[in-house]
Amino acid sequence: MSQPSCRLSIDVGGTFTDVVLLDEVSGEIRFAKVSSTPSDPSEGSLNAAETILLAHGAAAESVSDLIHATTVATNAVLEADGACTGLITTRGFRDTLEMRREGRYDIYDLNIQAPPPLVPRERRMEIDERITFDGEVLTPLNDDQIIAVITDLVDTHKIDALAICLLHGYAHPGHEMRVADIAARHFPDLTVSVSHDVAGEIREFERVSTTVVDAYVKPLAQRYITRLAGGLRAMKMPRDPAIMLSHGGVGPAEEVVQRFPVRMIESGPAAGAIAAAYFARNALSQPHAIAFDMGGTTAKMSVIQDGEPTVANEYEVGHAHRFKPGSGYPLQISAIELLEIGAGGGSIAYVNDLGLLKVGPRSAGAVPGPACYGRGGELPTVTDADLILGYLDAGYFLGGDMNLDVNLARQAIQTHLAEPLNMSVEQAAHGVHEVVNEHMAAATRAHAAEKGIDLRHFAMIAFGGAGPVHADGLVRTLGLSQVLYPFGAGVASAIGCLSAPAAVDLVGPYFSPLGSVNWNTVKDEFARMHANGEGILSSIAAPGSNIMKRSADMRCKGQGYSVTVAIPDDAALGDSLVGTLRGAFTTAYGAVHGHKPPDVPLEIVALRARIENPRPDNDLLLKNAPTEAGNVLKGKRRMYFNATEGYIDTPVYDRYALTNGAEFNGPAIIEERETSILIGPDMRFWVDEFANVIAESTKGGGA
């Protein structure tokens, strides 16, 4: 049998599941998009794999690896559909999860709301134990008490998952390990998450929150990956799946769901950011971009600077108030910074009590979907509006595999929007399109202001099923100079899975004044993390082929919060590094706080290591881009751009016939199977050597 030569990636979204097949010998890349199956997402994933292999005559045995991105963990939290979870903690700390932090995310809101604890008080149990911060055992464990507590949780409260988070367990995990061992011996069917393994660093509330979320999603994630892996084996795929993680790296799926499935949170959007970073490095004249990913359920923004997305060491999920940090469940995980906006193709439009047109955050999802899908949906959505405006072809949605019903879209908008607003169907549909664009632009402006970013120096990279339809209006509103639509824009997150490195992020506690670091201890800790990372990645990356990037969490003495400072790759660990770390801390502190740190002693509070196996950029060159011009003009379609001109006849171009150097003026629609690219008036576009479409204003300056 010939050696496997294909790589397969699958991205499960709320509405559609995207799949990409890359032939590493020929460089050809193929795409497909199928409907998601919310009741069992593994069915949609397996269907996607079968669809693309059958369509292109590839055998399952030819797939060398499969990388997967999923929203299973995220949706379990957002929909409160996780496991019945219990918590064991040190006596006196039962209510940490509910007390949260002293700070309020909105100091002027007298009725401020926090998300409900995933573990209610009756399932939060205390045990008698205490270890001091420096490792002294003040109160030893009582095995009989532990057995009694877990028995009560299992028999009385019927828990399926157990979170263990003891005071100072991050630094001295002996008691946590013993509780976990007792649980495993006496209750082998119980899923267990332990804080020192999930989030081994300081901050009691954040650590217990992360551990609880991990336990809450673990049984669901394990069942999902087990079904997926079993289905792939039945198809005779030679390798088990790998999974995209929140930090933009790839890990072995079965290892991840056994140890820390919380790191799967937002794996799909992270893959999109990785794809955007790849295109920024290889297709833009300067590698600074706003990645705009709009699918069927939500839109996500991420900032790409110098060809890389921004990665933070904390994240929030399940916000009680959208866009407000501090209103969600905090997670101590490495994650690509993402701005999530409740706007997707399935977002429902409505008229509120004040008579104003609003869109989202409610979504029609995959079932019943927008009204035009003909699956029983009766409420107007963004997709219905785009169809009425002429931006979508009713007969070429998903390349013709799915027909859209314009009459159903018109009926939904007429009944729920046009009549209440006393305007025409076309005006109401255009209003939906404009409201969505302005909503996303406002959120992007606010995010850029928080990060100190001048958007005029950034391009936009637009992808997702709905992103290329809305990017034109977005760049005009934001005043960006250029927008790039990658080849395969409708499945770009799945492409990102193929360009992501195998990687794992690890953290370990280490407390010391910067001036008196025990460098031998530091070397030992980094060696331990390196060996741990090699072990985790062993099934998807050859041992010894990985590199380690080191960093340290530092703070001013007496401060409560730290910043992460990178340790140069070639730097020796010793006293000669102190000056370098001090200078790097000043820079990092200024970037976070906007001013230099005070002249006080510095402390190290944690060590971090990223063990990764980088993937070269050139493995995704799109050799199947057309080299000979075909019939690029498919025809014309009436499209609505503004109320003054109404509908105008607009050229429709075939994405697959556009060759390198082709250049046209807008307005236009460029159609591919998975999405449509809207080019508005006063814009011109051309095609680069990798079949990416790049558009900019014909007026000069910003779009």
- pLDDT score, position 458: 92
- pLDDT score, position 320: 77
- pLDDT score, position 372: 95
Alpha carbon 630 to chain centroid, angstroms: 37
Label the pairing between strands 483-485 and 130-131. unpaired
Omega before residue 667 within 30° of 0, cis: yes
Q: Across residues 41-69, what is the average pLDDT?
A: 90
Alpha carbon 300 to chain centroid, angstroms: 8
266 Rama sector, left if φ>0, alpha if ψ -120 to 50, beta otherwise:
left
For the chain, percent of residues with pLDDT exceeding 90: 62
Domain membership of residue 232 (yes or no) is: no
- pLDDT score, position 703: 43
Same-domain check for residues 112 and 199? yes
Domain membership of residue 479 (yes or no) is: no
- Distance between CA 105 and CA 283 in Å, rounded? 39
Domain membership of residue 423 (yes or no) is: yes
Q: Across residues 51-78, what is the average pLDDT?
A: 88
Q: Which amino acid is at 245?
A: L
If DSSP codes are grouped into helix, strand and coil, which group holds residue 62? Answer: helix
Same-domain check for residues 509 and 597? yes
Q: Which amino acid is at 45?
A: S
Sequence-separated (6 or more) residues with CB below 8 Å from residue 229 = 240, 241, 253, 254
Question: 367-421: per-residue pLDDT in tens?
Answer: 788 999 999 999 999 999 999 999 999 998 888 888 999 999 999 999 999 999 9
- pLDDT score, position 299: 86
- Distance between CA 312 and CA 328 in Å, rounded? 16
Phi, psi of 434 (to 5 degrees): -70, -40
- pLDDT score, position 26: 77
**CA distances (Å), origin 13, targets 44, 212, 274, 408, 454:** 10, 24, 16, 24, 31
Mean of all residue pLDDT scores within the chain: 90
Place of tokens 């919310």: 38
Same-domain check for residues 351 and 428? yes
What's the pTM value of the predicted model, to 2 decimals? 0.89
Which token pair is 560?
């409560």
- pLDDT score, position 24: 81
- pLDDT score, position 25: 79
**CA distances (Å), origin 47, targets 34, 53, 111:** 8, 10, 46
Same-domain check for residues 201 and 86? yes
Same-domain check for residues 506 and 416? no
Q: Which of 637, 644, 646, 638 is nearest to 426 (CA)?
A: 646
The answer to whether residues 552 and 578 touch, using CB atoms and an 8 Å cutoff, is no
- pLDDT score, position 113: 85
Torsion of CA 45, 46, 52, 56, to 10 degrees: 160
Sequence-separated (6 or more) residues with CB below 8 Å from residue 352 = 358
The answer to whether residues 703 and 479 touch, using CB atoms and an 8 Å cutoff, is yes
Q: What's the pLDDT band for 621 if we cut at 50, 70, 90?
A: very low
The answer to whether residues 375 and 402 touch, using CB atoms and an 8 Å cutoff, is no
- pLDDT score, position 323: 63
- pLDDT score, position 239: 86
CATH number assigned to the domain comprising residue 151: 3.40.50
CATH number assigned to the domain comprising residue 546: 3.30.1490
The answer to whether residues 666 and 699 touch, using CB atoms and an 8 Å cutoff, is no
Domain membership of residue 671 (yes or no) is: no
- pLDDT score, position 114: 87
pLDDT higher than 50, residue 55: yes
Q: Which of 417, 269, 436 is nearest to 361 (CA)?
A: 436
- pLDDT score, position 3: 64
Q: What's the pLDDT band for 628 if we cut at 50, 70, 90?
A: low
Sequence-separated (6 or more) residues with CB below 8 Å from residue 271 = 11, 69, 244, 248, 493, 494, 496, 497, 500
- pLDDT score, position 190: 96
Place of tokens 């632009």: 441
- pLDDT score, position 339: 84
Last residue of a domain, one of 573, 596, 614: 614
- Distance between CA 143 and CA 149 in Å, rounded? 10
Last residue of a domain, one of 584, 614, 644: 614
Please, what's the largest Cα pairwise distance for the chain?
Answer: 80
Q: What's the pLDDT band for 588 if we cut at 50, 70, 90?
A: very high
- pLDDT score, position 629: 61
Place of tokens 């290889």: 282
pLDDT higher than 70, residue 692: yes
DSSP string, 284-313: SSSS-EEEEEE-SS-EEEEEEETTEE-EES
Count of domains observed in the chain:
3
The answer to whether residues 654 and 662 touch, using CB atoms and an 8 Å cutoff, is no
**CA distances (Å), origin 347, targets 151, 154, 246, 360:** 45, 40, 24, 5
Q: Which domain holds residue 397?
A: 347-433
Picking from 229-243, 440-454, 523-537, which range would have the lowest pLDDT averaged per residue? 440-454
The answer to whether residues 636 and 649 touch, using CB atoms and an 8 Å cutoff, is yes
Which token pair is 650?
């607009």
- HSE-CB at 335 with a 13 A cutoff on CA atoms is 20
pLDDT higher than 70, residue 525: yes
Last residue of a domain, one of 139, 172, 207: 207
Same-domain check for residues 426 and 506? no
Domain membership of residue 643 (yes or no) is: no
- Burial (CB < 10 A; 0-12, 13-18, 19+), residue 234, is exposed
Q: Which residue has the higher pLDDT, 273 or 628?
A: 273
pLDDT higher than 70, residue 624: no
Question: 302-341: per-residue pLDDT in tens?
Answer: 999 999 998 988 889 887 776 677 888 999 999 999 888 7
Same-domain check for residues 426 and 525? no
Picking from 200-214, 250-264, 508-522, 686-700, which range would have the lowest pLDDT averaged per residue? 686-700
pLDDT higher than 50, residue 349: yes
For the chain, percent of residues with pLDDT exceeding 70: 96
Q: What's the pLDDT band for 254 if we cut at 50, 70, 90?
A: very high
Domain membership of residue 334 (yes or no) is: no
- pLDDT score, position 650: 95
Q: Across residues 283-311, what is the average pLDDT?
A: 89
Strand partners, 315: 331
pLDDT higher than 50, residue 1: no
Which token pair is 261?
């499935």
Same-domain check for residues 429 and 541? no
Q: Across residues 505-534, what is the average pLDDT?
A: 94
Domain membership of residue 369 (yes or no) is: yes
Q: What's the pLDDT band for 620 if we cut at 50, 70, 90?
A: low
Q: Across residues 351-356, what is the average pLDDT?
A: 91
Domain membership of residue 462 (yes or no) is: no
- Distance between CA 542 and CA 323 in Å, rounded? 41
Sequence-separated (6 or more) residues with CB below 8 Å from residue 511 = 603, 604, 605
- pLDDT score, position 140: 95
Question: 86-144: per-residue pLDDT in tens?
Answer: 999 999 999 999 998 878 888 888 888 888 999 999 999 999 999 998 889 999 999 99
